[in-house]
């Protein structure tokens, strides 16, 4: 019976990951993150802040879903993975690695780094398979997940605060 439960769990995770990957690639045509035109100094606040606002809105949702997932809500965990994929798609549409370049507007560079660092931490949180006691390593997996989520939440708050200051 235990092997069947394990296989069911693996199948569920694989389906969730496939669903999240499929949904993550679509960025609406009317997204502010599409068709940004980079100059030699990056983007202007006027041009970039609407896109950053879409990313912050996705982070707002992701934070709520991740906290619920930490509490054991499997539906929120799946939804959080989907939201994370959507956020990554927004970042790719906005320029991908170009977001991590130094722009003349240092505050926008800092905002991008905060968003990127939050995304990296959320990715790590969702990669940790949290197991419950009495399973071996239950305490270790919970500690690792908690650490990643704490870091993600901190980076998210930094990005959100900076975004509000820039508006």
In eight-state DSSP terms, residue 105 is: S
Q: What is the dihedral of CA 157, 76, 95, 44, to 10 degrees?
A: -40
Q: Which two tokens stand for residue 134?
A: 């009495």
Output the tens digit of pLDDT for each of the chain's 167 residues: 444 444 344 444 444 444 444 444 589 989 999 989 888 888 999 999 999 999 999 999 999 999 999 998 999 999 999 999 999 999 999 999 889 898 999 999 999 999 999 999 999 999 988 777 787 887 888 899 999 999 999 999 999 999 999 99
Question: pTM higher than 0.85, yes or no?
Answer: no
Ordered by start, the domain boundaries in the chain are: 2-166
Report the b/e string of 114-135 with b at 16+ CB within 10 A.
Answer: bbbbbbebbebbbebebeeeee
CB within 8 Å of 122: residues ≥ 6 apart: 62, 66, 80, 84, 148, 149, 152
Q: Which two tokens stand for residue 17?
A: 């990951």
């Amino acid at each position: 019976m235990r092997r069947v439960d394990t296989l069911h769990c693996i199948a569920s995770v694989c389906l969730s990951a496939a669903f999240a990957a499929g949904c993550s690639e679509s960025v609406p045509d009317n997204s502010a993150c599409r068709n940004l035109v980079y100059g030699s100094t990056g983007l202007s606040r006027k041009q970039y802040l609407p896109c950053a606002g879409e990313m912050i809105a996705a982070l707002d949702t992701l934070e709520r879903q991740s906290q619920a997932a930490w509490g054991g809500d499997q539906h929120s965990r799946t939804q959080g993975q989907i939201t994370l994929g959507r956020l990554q798609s927004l970042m790719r549409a906005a320029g991908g690695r170009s977001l991590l370049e130094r722009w003349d507007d240092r505050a926008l560079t800092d905002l991008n780094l905060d968003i990127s660092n939050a995304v990296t931490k959320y990715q790590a949180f969702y990669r940790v398979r949290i197991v419950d006691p009495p399973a071996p390593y239950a305490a270790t997996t919970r500690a690792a997940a908690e650490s990643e989520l704490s870091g993600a939440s901190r980076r998210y708050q930094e990005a959100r605060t900076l975004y509000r200051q820039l508006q």
